[in-house]
Structure 1
Amino acid sequence: MLTVFLFYIANLLFCLAYMVRDMAWLRTITILAAISTLPYFYFQASPLYSAMGWQIAFIAINAFNLTVLILHRRPVKLNDQEKWLHSTTLRLLKPRKMLRLLKQAKTHEVAAGEPLVHQGQELNALLLLLSGKASVQMEGQARATLLPGDFVGEMSFISGKVASADVVAEEAACYLEWTAPTLERLYARDSEIKDALQGAIGMDMADKLAR
C-alpha cells in the first residue's frame, strides 16, 4: 500500500536526517519525514490521531526553528564604514556578529587637542579610532601615532592597570567606546565574539609594533 510505502520512506528520511551535519538540512529532512508519516497514521482502521498530533507538533517546532535559522543566515548588508571595519580591524568577526558588537558601542567625537585617554586614568573601556589621528604622549613627548582602525588604551583595558600615557587627538577624531560591563554581558551571550575581538586586539598590537 502507498501509505506503508510512505511510512518506510519516512523512516529512511529520519535516518538520513541524523546523518547530515548541517542543521538546516536536518530540520528540512525531518519535516519531510514527519509529513510522510501522516497518511499512514490517518488511514489505519482507526485513525491514530494522537500520533498525528505529535507529528504535527514536531513539524511545527522544526518549521519554526528552520525559519529562524534561515533568517539568521540571510546576507548581511553593511554600509561603507562597516565594510571598512570588517576588512580591517574586525575581520575576525562574522558580519552579523560584528554588527551585534557595533550596536553595543557608543560613538564619541573630539576636536583637535582634546584627550581620549589621560595618563594615570583607570580605563574600564575599550576604544576604537574611526577617523582622525591621535598621538600617544608621555611627559609631553609624542611616542606613537594612532590611525583609523587602531584600538586605543587596549593594554590598560586588558591588564586592568592605569593608562601609562596620554592619548590626544591630533585632529578632529571620532571613536567607538565599549565599557567593560557592556563587553562582559556580550561575552556571556556569545563567546565567539569574545574570542574574535581578543584576536583582533592581538593583531592590532602586532600591527602597531610593526609600524
Structure 2
Amino acid sequence: MSDLSTASGWIAGIALLAAMAPHQVRLMRLLLLVGGIFGVLYFAFSGNVGLELVLAVLFTLLNAARLYQLWNRARSGSMTSEERELFDHVMQIEDPSKQNRLRDLMQWRDGKLGEVLIEQHQIDPPLIYIAAGRVSIKRDGQFVSECGHGEFVGEISHISGNGASATVTVVHPLRYAKIDRDALAQLSQSLPEIGRAVDNAFNRSLAVKVVRMNEAIEEAQN
C-alpha cells in the first residue's frame, strides 16, 4: 500500500503543477481532475480517511462538474445572445471552434451600481467587454467619459502592458465579460487570425472613444 500511496501522491502533485501551465480552461480542469483523483487515492491508500480525504473528494467532484459543463457547452454549441453578439458583430469571428476557444477565457458577471472595476494605476487590470450598462472613466479624480454597450475597457493596458490609466466605475447596472488577459495573449500568438480579430475589435472600440472625447471637447469649448 505504501508504494501505491507514494505513486499516487507523486502523480497528484505533478498533475496539479502541470495544471498551472496551460491557459486553455478545459485542459487546466482536466489536469486538476486527474490531480484530484490521484489525491483521493493517495489519502485512501495511506489510510488517512479524515478531513483531508473529504476535501480531496470535494475538490475532485467540483472539477469534474466544471469540466462537464465546459464539455457540454462546447458540444451543444449553444451561446447566449451576449456571446453571439460579441463573436459575430464585435470580434467578427465566425469559426465555431475559435469561438469556443475564446469562450473558455471569459467569465460573465453582473456589475452593481457604484462598483469599481478598475483602479487607476492598477497593475495588470482586467480586460472587460461591456454587453449592457455603462461605466464612468475618471483620471486623477476627473471625469473623462463613459463607456457602454459593445465597448471594451482595459484594452489599452492589455496592448501596452502598462498599469491602468483611469478608474472605471459602474454607473448603470452592468452585464460584462471579464477576459483572461494572459490566456488571450497566448491564444492570439498560437492562432494569429484570432489575434487580428481581437486587435481590430480593440481598434474599433478605441476609435469610438476618441470620437466621443473629441465631441465632448468641442461641446465644452462652445
Gaps of 5+ in 1: 1-75
Amino acid at match of 2:122: Q
How many Å separate the matches in 1 of 2:111 and 2:86?
20
Whether 1:196 aligns to 2:183 is no
Output the CA distance in 2 between the equivalents of 1:167 and 1:131: 15
Where in structure 2 are the equivalents of 1:99-114 lying within 5 Å? Answer: 99-114=100-115
> What TM-score comes out, normalization by structure 2 length?
0.55
Kept in 2: contact 1:89–1:204 (CA 8 A): no
The alignment status of 1:182 with 2:183, answered yes or no, reads yes
Question: Which residue is equivalent to 2:94?
Answer: 94
Contact 1:134 1:171 in 2 (8 A): yes
TM superposition shift of 1:156 = 1.5
- Corresponding residue for 1:121? 122
Q: What CA distance in whole angstroms lies between the structure 2 residues aligned with 1:200 and 1:210?
A: 16
* Counterpart AA for 1:94: E
Which residue matches 1:171?
172
> Which residue does 1:141 correspond to in 2?
142
Asked if the contact 1:132–1:171 (Cα under 8 Å) also holds between the matched residues in 2, the reply is yes
State the secondary structure of the residue aligned to 1:112: coil
Counterpart CA distance in 1 for 2:140 and 2:190 is 41
- 95 and 112 in structure 1: CA distance in 2 versus 1, 3 angstrom threshold: farther
Q: Counterparts of 1:21-60 in structure 2 under 5 Å?
A: none
1:83 to partner: Cα distance = 3.2
RMSD, aligned CA: 2.0
CA shift at 1:78, angstroms?
4.6
| TM, length-normalised to structure 1 | 0.57
2:69 alignment counterpart? none
> Counterpart amino acid of 2:150?
G
- Report Cα offsets for 1:115-171 as digits up to 9, x if no partner: 111011012542111221000012333211101111101112211111121000002
* C-alpha spacing 1:127/1:204, structure 2 compared with 1 (3 Å): same
The alignment covers a number of residue pairs equal to 135
Rounded to whole Å, the distance in 2 between the matches of 1:192 and 1:106 is: 22
* Equivalent-residue separation in structure 1 for 2:100 and 2:149 (angstroms): 18
Q: 1:178: Cα distance to partner? A: 1.9
Question: What are the Cα deviations for residues 97-122 of structure 1, in whole angstroms up to 9, with x where unaligned?
Answer: 23421232122322101111101101
Change (3 A) 1:210 1:99: farther
Instruction: Write out per-residue CA displacement over residues 25-79 of structure 1, whole angstroms, 9 at most, x where no aligned residue.
Output: xxxxxxxxxxxxxxxxxxxxxxxxxxxxxxxxxxxxxxxxxxxxxxxxxxx7654
Larger of the two Rg values belongs to structure = 1
CA-CA distance at 1:95 after TM superposition: 4.4
Note if contact 1:129-1:148 (Cα within 8 Å) is conserved in structure 2.
yes
Name the CA distance, whole Å, in 1 between partners of 2:190 and 2:106.
16
**1:180 shift after superposition:** 2.6
Q: Counterparts of 2:166 and 2:209 in 1: how far apart (Å)?
A: 15
Moved over 4 A (4+): none
Distance of aligned partners of 1:87 and 1:181 in 2 relative to their CA distance in 1, 3 Å threshold: closer
Give the deviation of 1:185 after TM superposition: 3.1
